[in-house]
């Protein structure tokens, strides 16, 4: 259709322009396509090299071109020129026209104007042709509606086959779809069920296979000289009473997906218009049946074809250099991880504690009188941390001193009167008073809370508790030495099996992120603690001798890493994921 339209339009243009020697028109092309003439004038000739060159120049410039100006062919002033003009539809390029003629000097602009007017007329013709082609006939609409309204592919094929049989006056219409390089009958007209292994179905499948194998429409017995090996058509026609057969292929996305076999009685043959209608119906039904089949695929088939197979085709296909390069780099990176090894370290939150932690408690019941130290302060041995109120003790002390002196006087008086029995009683009472005074002196000495060693106060602040009562044994302060620390790591339960005493590591504290402290594991606890997400085990380590430990303080937090040894990088990065999979597979599987 397009070639006939192009030839008619070009002939009319060349007849309207005087002295035309030859011409050429190209339709349905893009700016970068090779120029392949759709029509030439005169029809018996091919386009000359000058006509092709001018057309190529007009395509590249997207503007009219005149070549050969100034080359006079005779004394009358006629010039042998070639005029080329691009063809546009709705502002988009779709072709080019080029003519060679003998024209007087200065008439080239008029020729260009005639070609542009003809192009405008051609645009209207093409628009009308496309509009008419886009409209469906009542027969086509009826068949498509019968196929679309069905939910499943076999029901849609059966409904379409029945509608085609009625509309085209056929004895039977069969539809088969390609499956694993073989055609299988999916529907027979006006039959919802049939025996797939019957001789009739096998013969129809062989007929469809012949059409699919030769990728063309086959009419029997009106045999095309270019078509051979029609044994299956001959067998089916003879078996069904010398029927006339027309087999057309189903096409979807430029791929043959099946075939339709039309059967008529021996008295009714398929003419050219019937064959064309059959081919048009096959072109319309092919995508619909293919779509319904794709929607009925199992989930595993969808994943295999639409995800895996499509991805592989995109990767190994002729296009997508960037995807191929990215895949090569990814495989190289994974390969490097699979064969390369490096240091494997277990990371865990860490807290800094004093190696020895001493508590300072109240020596007896009393009241807070003075407070000299609080948490965070560095103190020396024998420094006074706080004092308890000693007023009651001193009053008791004066009372006992007075009683002791009175007993001494009575003792001396009894001794002077030679009353030895009474003297012994008074002497005993004096001894009791002296013992009570010694106890009071000891309590008075303990009213001052003394630091037991050099260190730092890590807990306790009595500056806001002056005058409050305290009980004997009540915690007042907690102290730790400055240069003796232990590191407590909270190791996840999934990593505790890799930890052992003696392993080395390093510590980084939040207060000093730029410094590293060497560690050595000393104790692995067998008792776990509940964390926010997982159970954790307490692992104790000591800081290997470091000159910067004076800047450390108990209670500091950070991150510790324990060195386990050389391990594969891929294993290091995927161990948690595979561990999770193993655990949950064990839980899910029966």
| Domain CATH number, residue 214 | 3.30.450.40
Among 67-71, 198-202, 367-371, 418-422, where is mean pLDDT lowest? Answer: 67-71
Q: What is the pLDDT of residue 83?
A: 87
Residue-level pLDDT at 249 = 93
Q: Is residue 338 part of a domain?
A: no
DSSP secondary structure code for residue 136 in this structure: P
Q: What is the DSSP letter of 498?
A: G
Find, among 2, 21, 16, 20, the residue nearest to 95 by Cα.
Answer: 2
Token pair for residue 246? 């027309």
- Helix (H) / strand (E) element for 577: namely helix 569-588
3-state secondary structure (DSSP) of residue 391 = helix
| Cα-to-chain-centroid distance, residue 148 | 36
- Rounded CA-CA distance 560/489 in Å is 7
Residue 142 covered by a domain? yes
Specify whether 158 is located in the same domain as 92: no
Same domain, 447 and 497: no
Does one domain contain both 506 and 459? no
pLDDT of residue 225: 59
* Percent of the chain residues past pLDDT 70, beyond the cut: 90
Report pLDDT for 118: 77
Q: Are residues 86 and 204 in the same domain?
A: no
User: Count of alpha carbons within 13 Å of 50, Cβ hemisphere only?
Assistant: 14
Check pLDDT > 70 for residue 328.
Answer: yes
- Report helix angle 138-148 to 272-295, nearest 10: 20
Looking at the chain, the number of H-run helices and the number of E-run strands are: 14, 24
pLDDT tens digits, one per residue of 364-417: 788 888 888 877 777 788 888 888 887 887 888 888 888 888 888 888 888 787
Token pair of 357 as six digits: 């932690």
Provide the domain count of the chain: 4
pLDDT exceeds cutoff 60 at 209: yes
Report the C-alpha gap between 223 and 85 in whole angstroms. Answer: 45
| Beta-sheet strand order (sheet of 366-371) | 448-450, 384-388, 366-371, 469-470
pLDDT band at 531 (very low <50, low <70, confident <90, very high): low
On whether both 8 and 120 belong to a single domain, the answer is yes
Per-residue CA distances from 333 to 323, 340, 541, 568, 569 (Å): 15, 10, 36, 13, 11
Residue pair 487/542 in contact (Cβ under 8 Å)? The answer is yes
**Residue in the structure block whose two tokens are 């071109």:** 65
Q: State pTM to two decimals.
A: 0.43
User: The domain that contains 514 carries what CATH number?
Assistant: 2.40.30.170
Q: In whole angstroms, give the CA distance from residue 15 to residue 391.
A: 136
Evaluate if residue 330 carries a pLDDT over 80.
Answer: yes
Q: Which of 134, 167, 202 is the last residue of a domain?
A: 134
Rounded-to-integer distance, Cα 147 and Cα 127, Å: 30
Q: Is the dihedral of CA 120, 122, 126, 132 positive or negative?
A: positive
Instruction: Indicate left, alpha or beta for 321 from its phi (over 0: left) and psi (-120 to 50: alpha).
Output: alpha
Q: How many residues does this entry show for the chain?
A: 590
pLDDT on residue 105: 66
pLDDT of residue 465 exceeding 80, the answer is no
Q: CA dihedral defined by 255, 256, 262, 268, rounded to 10 degrees?
A: 70
Question: Among the three residues 115, 134, 153, which one is the final residue of a domain in this structure?
Answer: 134
β-bridge mates for residue 576, sequence order: none
Confidence of residue 546 (pLDDT cuts 50, 70, 90): low
User: Please, which pLDDT band fits residue 254 given cuts at 50, 70 and 90?
Assistant: confident
3-state secondary structure of 564: strand
User: What is the per-residue pLDDT for 528?
Assistant: 76
Give which of 126, 94, 76 is closest to 30, Cα–Cα.
94
Residue 327, in any domain of the structure = no
180 found inside a domain:
yes
Is 438 in a helix, a strand, or coil? helix
Nearest one of 355, 382, 377, 390 to 462, comparing CA atoms? 377
SS3 188: strand
Angle at 300 between CA 295 and CA 303, to 5 degrees: 80
Q: What is the mean pLDDT of residues 80-99?
A: 82
| Whether residue 122 sits in one domain with residue 35 | yes
Q: Which helix (H) or strand (E) holds 52?
A: helix 49-61
Highest mean pLDDT among 144-153, 245-254, 407-416: 245-254
Supply the DSSP string of 510-542, one letter for each residue.
Answer: TTEEEEEEEEEEEEEEEEEEE-SSSEEEEEEEE
Say whether both 168 and 275 belong to one domain.
yes
Locate the DSSP E strands across 47-152.
65-67, 78-89, 92-104
Nearest CA to 38 out of 28, 52, 51 is that of 28
pLDDT, residue 563, reads 92
- Smallest Cα–Cα separation from 504: which of 544, 466, 464? 544
Q: What angle do CA 9, 15, 16 make, to 5 degrees?
A: 90
Sheet architecture: strand order including 455-459: 358-361, 475-480, 455-459, 378-379
CB 248 within 8 A of CB 161: no
pLDDT tens, position by position, 30-81? 777 778 888 888 876 677 888 888 888 888 888 888 887 555 555 556 778 8
The per-residue pLDDT for 339 is 82
Confidence band, pLDDT 50/70/90 cuts, at residue 263: very high
Residue written as token pair 């779709």? 94
Average pLDDT over residues 558-576: 88
Is residue 337 assigned to a domain?
no
Same domain, 25 and 90: yes
Do 159 and 190 lie in one domain? The reply is yes
589 in a structural domain: no
Q: pLDDT at position 430, please?
A: 82
Average pLDDT over residues 459-466: 78
543 in a structural domain? yes
- Domain of 527 in residue numbering reads as 484-568
Q: How are the residues of the chain apportioned to helix, strand and coil, as percentages rounded to the nearest 5?
A: 40, 30, 30
CA distance 55 to 96: 6
The predicted structure's pLDDT at residue 208:
92
> Are residues 268 and 401 both part of a single domain?
no
Chain centre distance of CA 79 = 67
User: Of 108, 134, 160, which closes a domain?
Assistant: 134
314-351: buried (b, 16+ CB within 10 Å) or exposed (e) per residue?
eeeeeeeeeeeeeeeeeeeeeeebeeeeeebbbebebb
Q: Angle of helix 420-445 relative to helix 391-416, nearest 10 degrees?
A: 160
> Which CATH number fits the domain that encloses residue 373?
2.40.50.100
pLDDT of residue 69: 58
Q: Is 237 part of any domain? A: yes
pLDDT tens digits along 126-139: 766 655 554 556 77
pLDDT at residue 260 in the model? 94
**Strand positions, DSSP E, 296-413:** 341-354, 358-361, 366-371, 378-379, 384-388
pLDDT(258) > 90: yes
Instruction: Determine contact, residues 479/458, Cβ cutoff 8 Å.
Output: yes
Maximum Cα–Cα distance across the chain: 182
Mean pLDDT of the chain: 81
pLDDT of residue 349: 92
| The pLDDT of residue 559 | 94
| Residues 210, 89 share a domain | no
Q: Same domain, yes or no, for 145 and 280?
A: yes
- The phi, psi pair for 242, rounded to 5°, reads 55, 45
Q: Residue 37's pLDDT is what? A: 85
pLDDT score, position 195: 85
- The confidence score (pLDDT) of residue 59 equals 85
């Amino acid at each position: 259709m397009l070639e006939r339209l192009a030839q008619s339009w070009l002939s009319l243009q060349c007849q309207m322009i005087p002295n035309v020697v030859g011409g050429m028109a190209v339709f349905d092309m893009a700016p970068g396509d090779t120029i392949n003439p759709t029509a030439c004038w005169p029809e018996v000739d091919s386009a000359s090299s000058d006509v092709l060159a001018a057309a190529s120049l007009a395509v590249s410039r997207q503007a009219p071109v005149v070549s050969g100006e100034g080359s006079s062919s005779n004394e009358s002033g006629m010039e042998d020129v070639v005029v080329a003009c691009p063809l546009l539809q709705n502002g988009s390029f779709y072709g080019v026209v080029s003519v060679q003629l003998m024209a007087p000097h200065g008439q080239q602009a008029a020729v260009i104007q005639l070609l542009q007017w003809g192009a405008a007329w051609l645009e209207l013709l093409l628009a009308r042709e496309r509009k008419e082609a886009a409209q469906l006939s009542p027969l086509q609409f009826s068949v498509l509606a019968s196929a679309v309204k069905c939910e499943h592919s076999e029901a849609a094929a059966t409904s379409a086959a029945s509608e085609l049989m009625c509309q085209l006056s056929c004895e039977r219409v069969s539809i088969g779809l390609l499956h694993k390089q073989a055609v299988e009958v999916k529907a027979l007209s006006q039959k919802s069920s049939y025996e797939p292994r019957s001789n009739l179905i096998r013969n129809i499948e062989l007929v469809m296979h012949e059409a699919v194998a030769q990728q063309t429409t086959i009419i029997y017995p009106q045999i095309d000289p270019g078509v051979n090996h029609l044994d299956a058509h001959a067998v089916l026609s003879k078996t069904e009473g010398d029927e006339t057969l027309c087999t057309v292929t189903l096409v979807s996305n430029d791929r043959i997906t099946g075939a339709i076999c039309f059967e008529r009685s021996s008295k009714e043959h398929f003419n050219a218009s019937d064959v064309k209608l059959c081919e048009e119906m096959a072109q319309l039904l092919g995508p619909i049946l293919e779509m319904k089949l794709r929607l009925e695929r199992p989930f595993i088939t969808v994943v295999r074809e639409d995800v895996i197979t499509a991805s592989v085709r995109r990767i190994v296909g002729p296009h997508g250099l960037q995807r191929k390069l990215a895949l090569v780099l990814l495989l190289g990176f994974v390969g490097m991880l699979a064969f390369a090894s490096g240091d494997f370290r277990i990371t865990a939150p860490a807290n800094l504690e004093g190696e020895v932690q001493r508590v300072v408690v109240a020596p007896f019941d009393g009241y807070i009188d003075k407070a000299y130290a609080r948490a965070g302060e560095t103190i020396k041995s024998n420094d006074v941390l706080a004092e308890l109120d000693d007023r009651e003790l001193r009053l008791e002390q004066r009372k006992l001193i007075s009683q002791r002196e009175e007993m001494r006087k009575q003792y001396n008086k009894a001794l002077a009167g030679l009353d030895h029995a009474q003297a012994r009683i008074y002497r005993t009472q004096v001894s009791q008073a002296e013992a009570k005074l010694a106890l009071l002196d000891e309590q008075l000495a303990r009213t001052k809370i003394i630091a037991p060693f050099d260190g730092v106060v890590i807990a306790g602040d009595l500056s806001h508790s002056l005058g409050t009562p305290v009980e004997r044994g009540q915690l007042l302060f907690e102290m730790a030495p400055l240069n003796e620390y232990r590191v407590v790591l909270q190791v996840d339960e999934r990593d505790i099996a890799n930890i052992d005493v003696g392993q080395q590591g390093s510590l980084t504290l939040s207060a000093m992120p730029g410094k590293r402290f060497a560690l050595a594991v000393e104790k692995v606890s067998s008792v776990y603690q509940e964390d926010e997400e997982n159970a954790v085990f307490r692992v104790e380590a000591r800081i290997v001798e470091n000159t910067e430990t004076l800047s450390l303080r108990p209670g500091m937090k950070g991150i510790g890493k324990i060195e386990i040894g050389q391990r594969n990088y891929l294993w290091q990065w995927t161990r948690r994921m595979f561990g999770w999979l193993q655990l949950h597979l064990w839980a899910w599987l029966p």
